[in-house]
Amino acid sequence: MKKLAKVAPSRVLIVISLMALLFGCKGDGPSYRTEQVSKGDIQQSVTATGTVNAVTTVLVGTQVSGTIKSLYADFNSRVTKGQLIALIDPEMLDAQLAQAKANVEKADATFRDADRTLKRNRELFAKNLIPRSDLDTAETSFDSARAQLEQAKAAFKVAETNLRYTRILSPVDGIVISRNVDIGQTVAASFQTPTLFTIAQDLTKMQIDTNVAESDIGMVKIGQAVDFTVDAYPDITFKGKVWQIRQAPITVQNVVTYDVVIQVDNRDLKLMPGMTANVSIIITTRHDVLKITNAAMRFRMTERPAGAASAPGAVAKPGAGAVEKKGPSVWILENDKPIRVAITPGISDGNYTEIVSGDLKEGQAIIVEMLKKNKSQSGPRMF
């Protein structure tokens, strides 16, 4: 009996401990992950992607057909205005020019003969030696010969111009960024002028053509500052400014965007035509303002926790513990109790939001996530 009396209290203690493990945590409250209200700068921007291009790009073609005889410029060649960059074989056009010249000489001879005939007939008609019809015929022949001479001169000028067009000259000062022909290649200028070279006029000044969504285009204004990066230099942030907002919409799969042109200084020639730019158009910048993480703006308290303080603007629904929230608000922790605070948000940079008004102070703990719910809402844990 003494032995049993000694063992019984131990068993009672074990049973009590097990019950405490199973049901003792029933009243534990939830825990939260918090972040502090901070103070600093915040910047609102519009992001987009675009392509780096030269401000002025000239497509150099040819107005005559023929075979490329010589090339005097290649990729990355620096050229000046009026410089010879290619030559089309002029042999055929030389022959056409010679033929046109011969036609001019023939028409000139015919014209001079008609002129002499007209003068002679006028003298004879004045002496009544020939009828009026002969004089009219001479005048008609003279006018026809004069017209044929002018026509031959025009044909000669066309042949001379075509021969001059065999010399392909650079129309601007710049750099050759594309060459589309080789020596011996035949080019045909029939319905569309073939492109022989693409020349960028000045690569020290570039532009970015960006596609801005229609939901953001209303915030973009001419003259706004722009930060952008390119994949070739991921650690360098380049600067620019909005130069033009084009009115023509660009619709791709029912998505409407607008072309915003950004001017860029490229004195060090790091940027090349065709690069993809990740652009941030700076809309507004606020300095030294209260800001909170956007996760706090998204947090919602669906159940009124035990001990939660009633906040202004919150109305409890009849027969339920849920709180109806009116307007933007966040939840802060004071003495381990969540309290709802109404706020007026300002601009946002995607990560943080400015607080324009509200009962918040720098350093306050603000709830961003519930880590552990009230265990009274679930059944006892079983081992």
Is the predicted pLDDT of residue 308 greater than 60, yes or no?
Answer: no
Nearest in space to 97 (alpha carbons), one of 143, 161, 179, 26: 161
CATH classification of the domain holding 182: 2.40.50.100
Does some domain include residue 382?
no
Q: What is the pLDDT of residues 357-383, one digit of tens each?
A: 888 889 888 999 888 665 444 444 443
Q: Do 343 and 302 fall into the same domain?
A: yes
Does some domain include residue 383?
no
pLDDT at res. 70: 95
Q: Please list, residue by residue across 62-74, b when 16 or more beta carbons sit within 10 angstroms of its beta carbon and e when fewer do.
A: bebebebeebebe
d(CA 74, CA 76): 6
Number of other residues whose CB lies within 10 A of the CB of residue 104? 20
Q: Do 134 and 183 fall into the same domain?
A: no
Residue 32's H or E segment, with its range, is strand 31-36
CATH classification of the domain holding 332: 2.40.420.20
Average pLDDT estimate for 104-113:
96
Q: Do 359 and 333 fall into the same domain?
A: yes
**Contact (CB, 8 A) for 278 and 49:** yes
Higher pLDDT, 9 or 193: 193
Q: Do 208 and 236 fall into the same domain?
A: yes
Q: Do 320 and 189 fall into the same domain?
A: no
306 pLDDT tier (thresholds 50, 70, 90): low
Q: What is the pLDDT of residues 30-66, one digit of tens each?
A: 788 888 999 999 999 999 999 999 999 999 999 999 9
Q: Do 208 and 234 fall into the same domain?
A: yes
- Among 20-24, 140-144, 293-297, 332-336, whose mean pLDDT is lowest? 20-24
**Contact (CB, 8 A) for 209 and 53:** yes
Does some domain include residue 15?
no
pLDDT at res. 4: 41
**pTM (2 decimals)?**
0.67
Answer with the one of 233, 253, 288 that is the final residue of a domain: 288
Q: Please list, residue by residue across 355-381, b when 16 or more beta carbons sit within 10 angstroms of its beta carbon and e when fewer do.
A: beebebeeebbbbbebeeeebeeeeee
Average pLDDT estimate for 123-148:
94
d(CA 60, CA 1): 116
Enclosing domain of residue 319: 31-41+290-377
Q: Do 219 and 244 fall into the same domain?
A: yes
d(CA 159, CA 151): 12
pLDDT at res. 169: 96
Q: Do 194 and 118 fall into the same domain?
A: no
Which of the 8 DSSP states describes residue 127? Answer: T
Answer with the one of 288, 321, 343 that is the final residue of a domain: 288
Residue in the block written with tokens 């004089």: 135
Tell me the DSSP string of 255-298.
Answer: EEEEEEEEEEE-TT----TT-EEEEEEEEEEEEEEEEEEHHHHH
Is the predicted pLDDT of residue 156 greater than 90, yes or no?
Answer: yes
193 pLDDT tier (thresholds 50, 70, 90): confident
Half-sphere exposure of 323 (CA within 13 A, CB side): 23
Does some domain include residue 5?
no
**Contact (CB, 8 A) for 185 and 94:** no
Q: Do 226 and 110 fall into the same domain?
A: no
Number of H helices, E strands in the chain: 4, 21
| Integer-rounded Cα radius of gyration of the chain | 44
Q: Please list, residue by residue across 300-330, b when 16 or more beta carbons sit within 10 angstroms of its beta carbon and e when fewer do.
A: ebeebbeebeebeebeeeeeeeebebeeebb
pLDDT at res. 191: 72
Q: Do 295 and 368 fall into the same domain?
A: yes
Q: Do 148 and 254 fall into the same domain?
A: no
Does some domain include residue 235?
yes
Q: Do 105 and 229 fall into the same domain?
A: no
Report strand pairing: 205-213 vs 167-169: unpaired
Mean pLDDT over the full length of the chain: 85
Does some domain include residue 17?
no
Does some domain include residue 179?
yes
CATH classification of the domain holding 137: 1.10.287.470
Neighbouring residues of 134: CB distance < 8 A, sequence distance ≥ 6: 121, 124, 125
Q: How many separate domains does the chain show?
A: 4
pLDDT at res. 229: 96
Neighbouring residues of 183: CB distance < 8 A, sequence distance ≥ 6: 68, 69, 70, 71
Answer with the one of 146, 165, 184 that is the final residue of a domain: 165
